[in-house]
Structure 1
């Protein structure tokens, strides 16, 4: 009933618009200059010629037109039917009346001029009233039509062979493929396939590619749309587009409907200041109704992707709607290697390139990052006129993705260059001399992106848990750049601002969320900054702990940072000779690799530890992803 009412409402609005257009066209034709022309009898015309009251005559074989002079000096257009009058031209010349001859116009032109507007009105009438009936009641305007793109099953080229690094997600989706290929197998045992499959994970992990691969494996029609395409400024259009999308899928079943970025319309209702968004909420309500309205036997599977499953409306993700949730995480070492192999198929690699080594050097990279690495390496090799992509190109591509392109043309004074070198060597020395830190890969003072230098650490293995000792070492390493500036120059600069932000975030997370403070104890006290994303709920949120506890938390965070800072200064001071030697080498070469760093510090190459301590993995938590130790930023140094 609601569908019919909405369709009638949309058609009524369109009819009003078309009637306004018809009226405007009619007014134009009936009020055009020729409509007010005075018609004279031929005898009256001859009298006015004799009186010299006509001008600007146009003499055609069957019609005479021009202007006639009225009283008070006014003029008006006129026309008269021409009679057989051989003396007309002589009379016009005798009274000095100017005229021009005109050939007889074509009968085709007359018909077009007089009948065209009638044809136009008939066409508009058909477009408004006849065409909607042939389109199952849809309006003449296209607002209510879904913008989803349909891909023909015969043109589906993406399969699971093109997807790597997400083996668990592929296994979860095998049921969907089997159901679409052989639904009777499930229906015979009374089983029902989940109506909706929600793919969630970080950006770039391959959620959209997975959905396309499912359609390619099943060989069914694939409708893809972005959630933002449903929402318009007119209330009700989004709901109409949802209905139209499901109608199209039913006509082409078996089919897969894929909605990208579901959180654009699927956010919790009645959130934020002033309540909800009417158009978005109507679209969400219609989506919920459609999920309840079709059965699995219709052969329609709804798939959606989102980066923020925590903000979706509970009614949308409950059992019976999106009741299967498939995580698409960042790939592990083996997954990254498989992804690199997929993207390297079309790239000519040198035999010396080892994709396993590249995968080890790209922890935390998602599929999009790895594809970008291969593409950047190919571009760099082509720029250098190489026959194939070699290890140098791959290393440079990885660093470009991590920190941006090199900027060797940037002119830096010797004073600032020495400050940057001391800052980065401080990170390097402390990172190399702390037990639970990741191995140092290289240190450089060549500007790259917004950084004037950086220390690159790469873990030897993927981690899914992070210990307290590891976080404390990370905080110490981050503060080592600031500590080295103070020890060497007796003055600090603004180059450590990014390091301070990261170190403070780590310390706050330890104390307030991870329960890693001995003084505060095992308690989680989220501050709401990363929790609820709706402004209205943020404003109504009150702190759940006392002022006394807040002061203790602040004191513990400060103590953690101060202890890490003092530890960093102590490590650098106790190895000052090696520190100065490494600064001198970095000033000379601009890039120092891991082997040379170990040689200057007098250390053996760092090896992988057997364990990171006694941990009880009751709940798997993502490890803190490695990043280049923050170097001075271009706009922050002095």
Structure 2
């Protein structure tokens, strides 16, 4: 199978389509040259010097003319003199022949030079032939690019995939084992129908792949094409929809006609929501065309005429907008969920992509998977590629763990912004802000472990403390939520303790937003408020004509005030918890902040060492070798750092 999914054969341009295009252009240029020659060059002139007719008569009288050739009709005269050849034109002298005979001149008569009938037809028809040739060439190019021909609007644009080179199999699909197993069952049915038919099982008519963008829906379809060993047609949902009513329905009919000739086969429709949206959502010709196309698709999938041996596999990330008639059994018998991979799935996906790049021994796929919760398969593939690019830029032969760590930060937050110019006071405030987050992280038992803390700005984030969860979490507990609120206020509390009440900056804006949203969800959605009880006060989503509409639930003013009071109570509880932790461990706050100013980035293990009172040794004589834990609130002046820093940023931003 070629990368673009097209067959490489005579039907797609032959073995050398470039040579064919070259020959067409050579023919067009040759026709243009002939056209210019015939119309601009004119007839060829006879040989000899042109002389006036009077001079010609004088030469006849003097006997210099030996012989003449007279063209009948045009009166053109050519001949030879003692000095050479000549040519002139007879103005209609009736006595010319008598004069020539009297002087003994040899007279030859020749017919007039007139073009043949074929030459005349060629000259007259050449402009039209040239125009038709160029038009034919343009139409051929349109046919090649569109796949259906200039006049074949109603022809299907489905492409038949082959499995010659670079095919994808189920071995290349990782992290979505359940979805792979369901589709592998379809492949096994196509290979051995008797295995299922003996128990009365029937092959599913359709399978709908549902999942977020980048989770591997199209990759699964390519794996089916590589494993099935049957014809595999692929088309996009947008290829059916045109501005002309009836074109999409015609393409659906033509696609199923092609599939019937190759049955048993698989037809893959990518982004089916482009044609399968719920009917009745609007008015106008465009919607009429789309609805007619959908109606034809519904009939072809399950109508009076059975399409045995044709399996429809479709993919979408918008199942909520699809028409209910399209989702019923008999059309799409099963919906295959393709979720974002969990930590085990991410490990397998990383291992698949890491096979393509040289990996250093210090790279652990599980550590990378722990630090990438919520990443899809496409995100992980991009992460590996970014790490390889960073290693190549740094002149390394192997991709190390540092490249993966930097690539993850770049993917999440953008490139480093070392060109920012900040004052020493702003750098110190950034360091203490991030140190406050890190210290609360370390002293909250239910908080996630720290992966690293940095004050190097990236994108819109001007610093961060990044956690590294031990595993993926599918539910959250009350104590973990309160701990997260306390962590969010660690930076703001550190600024207030070190620099004073009036020096608190705006760097905690995102922290406050995150803490407020979490507290409101605890009160209104998860029923974790003792004063309100286990009631749902969150906003609901109503489905109306395929669109999601947010609607607030009705509540009294007293309930709304109580909700606001509970949210404020949860937030202030986390704020007081952060104050208690930082106040009890102010010495550790100074130590972590000074280390951040010195090294810019600290790992989780280094932060643990600093909290335990140990020293850091990175082999740098200007580092924190044996640096004692700070004992007061004074801020020692540090050397100018290699890179500038920005304002404080939220943890994990």
Q: Same fold (TM over 0.5)?
A: yes
Q: Distance in 2 between matches of 1:474 and 1:431?
A: 8
Q: Which moved more, 1:460-469 or 1:549-558?
A: 549-558
Corresponding position: 1:517 with 2:547: no
- Alignment match of 1:380 (pick from 374, 377, 390): 390
Offset of 1:140 from its aligned partner?
A: 5.8
Q: Distance in 2 between matches of 1:381 and 1:585?
A: 27
Offset of 1:380 from its aligned partner?
A: 2.0
Match of 2:324? 314
Match of 1:211? 221
Offset of 1:566 from its aligned partner?
A: 2.9
Match of 1:130? none
- Alignment match of 1:496 (pick from 508, 519, 535): 508
Offset of 1:440 from its aligned partner?
A: 0.8
Q: Distance in 2 between matches of 1:355 and 1:405?
A: 23
| Other structure's SS at 1:277 match | helix
The answer to whether the Cα contact below 8 Å between 2:300 and 2:307 also exists between their aligned partners in 1 is: no
Offset of 1:209 from its aligned partner?
A: 0.6
Q: Which moved more, 1:436-445 or 1:266-275?
A: 266-275
The answer to whether the Cα contact below 8 Å between 1:200 and 1:327 also exists between their aligned partners in 2 is: yes
Match of 1:181? 191
Q: Distance in 2 between matches of 1:413 and 1:358?
A: 35
The answer to whether the Cα contact below 8 Å between 2:427 and 2:647 also exists between their aligned partners in 1 is: no
Corresponding position: 1:466 with 2:479: no
Match of 1:351? 361
Offset of 1:278 from its aligned partner?
A: 3.1
Alignment CA distance shift 1:377-1:117 (3 Å): closer
Q: Distance in 2 between matches of 1:255 and 1:178?
A: 13
Match of 2:486? 476
| Other structure's SS at 1:409 match | coil
Q: Distance in 2 between matches of 1:457 and 1:590?
A: 17
| Other structure's SS at 1:446 match | coil
Alignment CA distance shift 1:241-1:554 (3 Å): farther
The answer to whether the Cα contact below 8 Å between 1:269 and 1:276 also exists between their aligned partners in 2 is: no
Alignment CA distance shift 1:431-1:319 (3 Å): same
Alignment CA distance shift 1:349-1:571 (3 Å): same
- Alignment match of 1:555 (pick from 554, 565, 568): 565
Corresponding position: 1:578 with 2:588: yes
| Other structure's SS at 1:298 match | coil
Alignment CA distance shift 1:376-1:86 (3 Å): closer
User: 5 Å matches for 1:200-239?
Assistant: 200-239=210-249
Q: Distance in 1 between matches of 2:428 and 2:510?
A: 19
Offset of 1:151 from its aligned partner?
A: 0.8
The answer to whether the Cα contact below 8 Å between 2:320 and 2:546 also exists between their aligned partners in 1 is: no
The answer to whether the Cα contact below 8 Å between 1:263 and 1:306 also exists between their aligned partners in 2 is: yes
| Other structure's SS at 2:313 match | strand
The answer to whether the Cα contact below 8 Å between 1:424 and 1:631 also exists between their aligned partners in 2 is: no
Q: Which moved more, 1:575-584 or 1:203-212?
A: 575-584
The answer to whether the Cα contact below 8 Å between 1:147 and 1:225 also exists between their aligned partners in 2 is: yes
Match of 2:374? 364
1:108-138 alpha-carbon deviations (Å, 9 max, x no partner):
55223445688799999x99xxxxxxxxxx9
Offset of 1:224 from its aligned partner?
A: 2.2
Offset of 1:569 from its aligned partner?
A: 2.7
Q: TM-score, normalised by structure 1?
A: 0.71
1:300-340 alpha-carbon deviations (Å, 9 max, x no partner):
21112222323322222222222211112222232222212
Offset of 1:589 from its aligned partner?
A: 1.2
| Other structure's SS at 1:406 match | coil
1:414-436 alpha-carbon deviations (Å, 9 max, x no partner):
22222222221222112221122
The answer to whether the Cα contact below 8 Å between 1:455 and 1:631 also exists between their aligned partners in 2 is: no
Alignment CA distance shift 1:234-1:499 (3 Å): farther
Q: Distance in 2 between matches of 1:594 and 1:587?
A: 16
Q: Distance in 2 between matches of 1:317 and 1:123?
A: 49
Corresponding position: 1:91 with 2:91: yes
Q: Distance in 1 between matches of 2:287 and 2:516?
A: 37
| Other structure's SS at 1:538 match | strand
User: 5 Å matches for 1:541-620?
Assistant: 541=551, 543-602=553-612
Q: Distance in 1 between matches of 2:517 and 2:587?
A: 32
Corresponding position: 1:505 with 2:522: no
Offset of 1:106 from its aligned partner?
A: 6.3
Match of 1:408? 418
Match of 1:442? 452
Alignment CA distance shift 1:508-1:269 (3 Å): farther
Q: Distance in 1 between matches of 2:538 and 2:434?
A: 33
| Other structure's SS at 2:315 match | strand
Q: Distance in 2 between matches of 1:567 and 1:362?
A: 28
Corresponding position: 1:538 with 2:549: yes
Match of 2:273? 263
The answer to whether the Cα contact below 8 Å between 2:539 and 2:552 also exists between their aligned partners in 1 is: no
Q: Distance in 1 between matches of 2:170 and 2:609?
A: 47
| Other structure's SS at 1:592 match | strand
Q: Which moved more, 1:519-528 or 1:287-296?
A: 287-296
Alignment CA distance shift 1:327-1:568 (3 Å): same
Alignment CA distance shift 1:633-1:474 (3 Å): closer
Alignment CA distance shift 1:592-1:366 (3 Å): same
Alignment CA distance shift 1:566-1:232 (3 Å): farther
Q: Distance in 1 between matches of 2:43 and 2:542?
A: 86
| Other structure's SS at 1:304 match | strand
Alignment CA distance shift 1:590-1:390 (3 Å): same
* Contiguous gaps of at least 5 residues in structure 2: 1-41, 46-71, 78-87, 95-111, 138-147, 615-645
Offset of 1:459 from its aligned partner?
A: 0.6
Alignment CA distance shift 1:465-1:536 (3 Å): closer
| Other structure's SS at 1:266 match | coil
